[in-house]
Each structure stands twice: as C-alpha cells, then as structure tokens.
Structure 1
Amino acid sequence: MSDWLDGKRALVVGAGSGIGRAVVDAFRQEGARVAVLERDPLKCDALREAVPDTPVTCGDATTRAANDEAVARAVDAFGGLDVLVDCVGVFDFYRGIGELDADLLDQAFDEMFAVNVKSHLHTVKAALPALRASRGSIVLTESTSGYFPGRGGVLYVSSKFAVRGLVTTLAHELAPDIRVNGVAPGGTLGTDLRGLGSLGMDERSLGSTPGRAEELAGRVPLRVALSGADHAWSYVFLASDRSRGITGTALHSDGGIGVKA
C-alpha cells in the first residue's frame, strides 16, 4: 500500500464496474476509506462481497434521495468526507441528429442529461456540507467526447460538454474551500457503459463491441487500449494533496488523441 490518499474519506458514485470500480480499488490501495453508490443490484452485491468493509448504497444517482443516503452513510461510517468522485454515465452509440426519431427526442434528451449531468449536480449538492467542512475535493468524469468530435452521438457529446461546464463553474463557485476537477478518459476496455433505454439500447454495452482493443489502440498516437485501472490513477492524483494547487481543469487519459495528425 502507498500513501497518496492516506486518511482520505471518499465516496465513489457509479462504482459497480469500469472506471468507477477501478477507482475504488486504486483509492483503497492508496490508503483511502471508500463508500460507494451504485444503481445495479447485482453490482451492489458484488461490491459487498469483494470489499465487505465498504459502505454500499444501492440506488439511482439521478435522484436526490439516493445521493443523500450515500453521503449520510459515508459520513456516519467515516466521520466526514474528503473526496467525491462521480463516474456515472450512459451512451448513445454515436446516434446523430439525423438518426434520432423526433418522437423519441424528448425522452432521449431527458434520460441522457439526467444520468450524465443531473446526477453530478445531485451528488455534489448532497456532499457539499461535508466537503466544505473538510475543505475537500471533487473529481467528475468528463470524456474525450467533450473535446473532440466523433467520439459519441449528438446527445452524449453535448452532455459531456455540459460536464466540462460543471467542472469550470463549480471550481469557481466553491473555491477556496473545495477543489473541483475532471478526468476526461478516452475509450476504455472493460467498460459496461450502457445505451439509452429510451432508444432501446439499455441491454447494449460499449465494452462488448467486437475488436474493441484493436480499435482503441489504433486510433490514438500511443497505440494503447486503456483500462479502467489506467484511468483510475488520474483520479488518485486529483484527489490527493499533491494536486492541492489544481482546480477547474481536467486530466486527459486518452492515449494522446489531442495530438493525432
């Protein structure tokens, strides 16, 4: 065990698989105590079995009640909260505006922005008193899709631009008490990022795309297919006191796509 997060008390939202699950492991490895919020009951059961000393709240992060419960359980268990991480997300499998059925647009928009944006707001709102008390930090999950075209459809990309806006405005509003940053991962091996239920995509997982490792490595300069564990260390750094002078920015764990010719 290292000590980058020694003594830190963290809540990870969307912790049942992919990047969120990797963040739980990395935080614990670095000395943090971690509580989690996860919607999927099977993933909640798996978390309880794998990390029995971790407070697990099974609930929907798009709701106030689930976030209030998760924060309360973390504070009750640990005596406070120093770090909030949100890894909740849903995908649209590259659906462009020309491919969206006008009859489904309202439902698809509401679902996308509820999961990818409103959940972050509910989580931050619930955790705000505890984070102010500890002068803590927040790390939200952005995406390379919020910086470069073609990495998602019109709803997903616009929702990730909104998360960029949350990082910027929250960092401004909550300084000097709370630091707010983002991690903008590129494509991820092993993700269970699901599609929009309103578009009939909720049984489809991005991580099960055939040939995904080769496709991910082939589109970035470093020729790497990154896993959740690869991304997790960016969250560790931003949550640690080693980044105490950093707020309102994002780390780009994306294989160097920004310098692609």
Structure 2
Amino acid sequence: MGWLDNDVALITGANSGIGLAVLRRFLQEGAKGVGALVRSDQGADALRQEFGNRVAVTVGDVRSASANEEAVAATLNAFGKLDTLVGNAGVWDYFASLRKFADGQQLADTFREVFEVNVMGYLLAAHAAAPVLRETRGSMIFTLSNSSFYAGGGGPVYVASKHACVGMIRQLAYELAPDVRVNGVAPGGTATPLKGPESLGKHDARLSEIPGFSDAVADAVPLGFMAKPEDHTGHYVLLASRTNSCATTANIIQSDGGWEVRGRPPRKA
C-alpha cells in the first residue's frame, strides 16, 4: 500500500521536470489517477504514451481560466473526484538583473509574463479546483523556490513572483480552512528543463543546460549537490497524504540543500 491509495491529483506543468517526477511518484504511491495540464500536444502525447488511461491530459495555457477549468473537469470525468491540486507550471527569468533590461517596456513585458505564469496561473488553478477540493476535504500544493525566501536565485522579477506565492499560500490556507489544506514545496537549484520568458528571448532555453550551473549550485549549498526532480517528490507525497499531514496547512517545505545555512565549512584535511 502507498501513501496515496485511491487518491486523484491534478498537476499543472506535468510533462517535464518536477511536475513529471511528482506525477510518477503519485502513481507509485497508489494514486487512482492523475490529471495533467500541459502546454503542448507533444507533451500530452508523451504522457499518454507512458501512462495510458492513468492520466487525463488537458492541453492549454495555465494563464487561461478556461484551460484550468477544463483540466479540473477532465480529471473529474476520468476519475470521479479530486483530492490534490499541484500547481507546478513556472517560468524563470535567467538572472535578468534590473540593468539587463533594454528599456522599461521590456521590463514591463517580462513582469507581466512571469507573474501571469508563476502567480496568476496558480490562482486560476486554485479557483478552478477549490469547489471540488472542498467536497473531498483535499489539499493544494504549490511549487515555490528558494527564491521565495532569499535573494540571488534569479532576477528581481522572478524573485518577486516567488515571494508573492508565499503570501498566496498563506492567504489561501486562511480562506479555505478547515476544508482544504494549502501548502508548498520550495526546491533549490534543480536539474530541470525550466524555461525562460519569451519577452527575454529565453523561451527555448533550459536551466539544466546552463554551462557550469550544476557545479555552481553544488558549491553554494551545504549538502554539496544539485538536486534532481525526483529528490523533491517525497515532500509532495507527504503534504498530499491525509494520514500523514492532516494537521499541516500554510506550510512550505524548503528542499534546497540547506540554503538557509549556506556557506560550507572548510574541508577537513
């Protein structure tokens, strides 16, 4: 038996990186099925090929209210209920500092794009899923970042968007209690194909392909390695489990290699 026996989840951004790893882990933990909201037909086809009728895939943009509503409806149609929403789709600004913007318009465009994906996308998913999660007394889990708490994990736009998600989680936990638990997982640097904003010409970039990034992350954190998506999935399972986290809401698990105490001690001779 797994921790999520017969549960049903919906995951946004489920076709790669942390989202895909969480989807696989939920099914391994006994989930009845998982809904997935993905951006492309190619990503949808890959999920259907790997998981068959254990997934209900919706193709759409997380910035669209109707796409989120369709994903909830597709999940209910396939599996009859919804126990957990995992808001995971995101975009990173590739360390775009204030002085790197060509002009104010590019900054405004980047702000709009990053906040619409990272914050509005989560809120739209929450709005679509909340009524059915109230019925099952389920939970919401949102993917945050070490940039939700610390500077240096991106530029000011990305860091601001992830800080905003902390407030969002706390407010949703306040509003939806006692029926729905709302929590988050905040990974540090992770080897994922996280994309950048179109406004910066980074839509086809991949975080995991940045030269030297893995070594830089490993050198920056006390645990001394760059995480893989699978390294974070246990936290999502814990927070989704009614048995193991029934008293937990408004909580964010930091899964970042010890970023809070960064600055490794000298190596012993």
TM-based fold match above 0.5: yes
Q: Which runs of 5+ in 1 are unaligned?
A: none
For 1:258 and 1:112, how far apart are their aligned partners in 2? 25
Question: How much does 1:102 deviate?
Answer: 1.2
Question: Which runs of at least 4 in structure 1 moved beyond 3 Å after TM superposition?
Answer: none
The answer for the alignment partner of 1:202 in structure 2 is 203
* Residue of structure 2 equivalent to 1:14: 13
User: TM-score, normalising length from structure 1?
Assistant: 0.97
Contact (CA 8 Å) 1:16, 1:40: kept in 2 or not?
Answer: no
State how 1:102-181 maps to structure 2 within 5 Å.
Answer: 102-181=104-183
Work out whether 1:78 is the aligned partner of 2:68: no
Q: In 1, Cα distance between the equivalents of 2:82 and 2:105?
A: 43
CA apart distance, 1:117: 0.4
My pick for the range that moved more, 207-216 or 217-226, is 207-216
Report the 3-state secondary structure (helix = DSSP H, G, I; strand = E; otherwise coil) of the residue aligned with 1:12: strand
Task: Give ranges in structure 2 of 5+ residues lacking alignment.
Answer: 264-269
Q: RMSD value over aligned CA atoms?
A: 1.0
Q: Give the CA deviation at 1:213.
A: 2.7
Return the offset for 1:11: 0.4
Identity among equivalent positions (%) equals 46
d(CA) in 2 for partners of 1:105 and 1:211? 27
Give the CA deviation at 1:244.
Answer: 0.7
Partner of 2:28: 29
Cα deviation, residue 146, structure 1: 1.2
Deviation sequence 1:23-70 (CA, Å, 0-9, x none):
000000001121111012221111111111111111111101111110
Q: Counterpart amino acid of 2:238?
A: F
2:104 corresponds to 1:96: no
Q: Secondary structure at the match of 1:201?
A: coil
Q: TM-score, normalised by structure 2?
A: 0.94
Higher mean C-alpha deviation, range 153-162 or range 33-42: 33-42
How many residues align? The count is 259
Q: Distance in 1 between matches of 2:127 and 2:143?
A: 16
Q: C-alpha separation between the residues in 1 aligned to 2:213 and 2:43?
A: 23
SS in 1 for 2:37: strand
User: 3-state SS of the aligned residue for 1:184?
Assistant: strand
The match for 1:3 is 2
CA distance in 2, matches of 1:211, 1:21: 24
Residues 131-177 of structure 1, C-alpha deviation per residue, up to 9 Å, x if partnerless? 00000000011110111110000100000001111111000110000
Structure 1 position 199, deviation (Å): 1.4
Paired position in structure 2 for 1:57: 58
1:212 to partner: Cα distance: 3.0
Give the letter for the 1:182 counterpart: G
2:49 is paired with a residue whose SS is helix
- 1:60 and 1:125 map into 2 onto residues whose CA distance is 15
Matched, 1:226 2:227: yes
Further displaced range: 202-211 or 227-236 = 202-211
**Aligned-pair distance for 1:211?**
2.8
1:5 shift after superposition = 0.6
Query: What amino acid does structure 2 have at the position aligned with 1:65?
Result: S
- Paired residues of 1:59 and 1:66 also in contact (CA < 8 A): yes
Corresponding residue of 2:46: 46
Q: Distance in 1 between matches of 2:42 and 2:78?
A: 23
- Equivalent in the alignment of 1:186: 188
Q: Tell me the distance in 1 between the aligned counterparts of 2:76 and 2:179.
A: 18
- CA drift at 1:128: 1.0
2:44 and 2:234 map into 1 onto residues whose CA distance is 23
Matches of 2:235 and 2:48, distance apart in 1:
25
